Structure 1
Amino acid sequence: MQRTAVNPWNWSLGIGFDQAELIEGGRRQLICSGQTSVDADGRPQHPGDMRVQVGLAMDNVEAVLAGADMTLGDVVRLNVYTTDVDAVLGCFDVIAQRFGAAGVRPASTLLGVTRLAIPELMVELEATAVA
């Protein structure tokens, strides 16, 4: 798979995402449902702690990817849904560091919502991966 970053402007690079990615030669595509801060039984974890919720949601994204024999390095798009945009921006480094360690900056969208499916949850990550 060939990934080419498309960045007509550079401001997003410091935050950790590309404006777009051109994907060529990919054979498999994985569309992940939104991953949140829940345990293996689906119970919400860490109410009120955005940083820890983001970290566990990222762990859960990685678990789904691993189930398809993929890694964060295969993610080409990440949508972030949150009930508190400022709080997510304050800990976006958790997301950027994990993808940076994988050597990628997936195209990304951050959306503020009034609530998620489970009221204790404050962030949901939806990934698309191509390998």
Structure 2
Amino acid sequence: MGADLYSERVTRFLEAAETAVDGKPSLSDVAEYAYVAITPPGRSLVHVAGACPLAPDGTTVAIGDVRGQAARCVENLVQSLAAAGAGLGDVVKTTVYVASAEQADLVAAWEVVRDAIAPHRPPSTLLGVAALGYDDQLVEIEAVAAV
């Protein structure tokens, strides 16, 4: 697919996400992320396993601190992306898991992730879960990047 056709398709998808379709209201503009991302031609997708709040020795850091764990997850995500030749600006999708039913905890984790990725705003999903895999783990960040 040529660059002009790709650019036209991206513009069309983004406009469709922002405007009324078939008389239905457009999507809300309050989201702090994009509703859609399209991988440019010639790029490879990098699927990053969930980045966890683990120190190099395997211990969970910032026990009981959602923001602290989210920050460590971002640090570990950056390292994983770098190993694949990517950075936060290459991320095309994130999923942030928070082991909490409290909306304030989800928002706290999201704010750390949002601020780390800014001004980039890839499509993202934020959800509370019952538990995560490591002892005392509260946050995990999964990502897909395009390089």
TM-score where L is the length of structure 2: 0.77
- 2: distance between equivalents of 1:31 and 1:80? 14
User: Structure 2: any 5+ residue segments left out of the alignment?
Assistant: 19-26
Q: Deviations over 1:26-78 (max 9, x none)?
A: 42211011011101132111110111100000000000001111100000000
Asked whether the 8 Å contact 1:65–1:72 carries over to 2, the reply is yes
- In structure 2, the residue matched to 1:96 is 114
Q: Deviations over 1:52-110 (max 9, x none)?
A: 1000000000000011111000000000111125212034221111111xx41111111
Question: Would you tell me which structure has more helix in proportion to its own residues?
Answer: 2
- In structure 2, the residue matched to 1:75 is 91
Secondary structure, aligned partner of 2:96? strand
- In structure 2, the residue matched to 1:117 is 133
| Stretch deviating more after TM superposition (82-91 or 119-128) | 82-91
Change over 3 Å in CA distance of 1:65–1:24 after alignment to 2: same
State the identity as a percent. 28
User: Structure 1: any 5+ residue segments left out of the alignment?
Assistant: none
Question: Would you tell me which structure has more strand in proportion to its own residues?
Answer: 1
Secondary structure, aligned partner of 1:42? coil
1:1-131 paired onto structure 2 within 5 Å = 4=10, 6=14, 7-8=17-18, 9=27, 10-12=29-31, 15=32, 17-84=33-100, 85-86=102-103, 87-100=105-118, 103-131=119-147
Tell me: higher relative CO, structure 1 or 2? Use CA pairs within 8 A at least 6 residues apart. Answer: 1
Q: Which structure has the greater CA radius of gyration? A: 2
Question: How many aligned positions are there?
Answer: 126
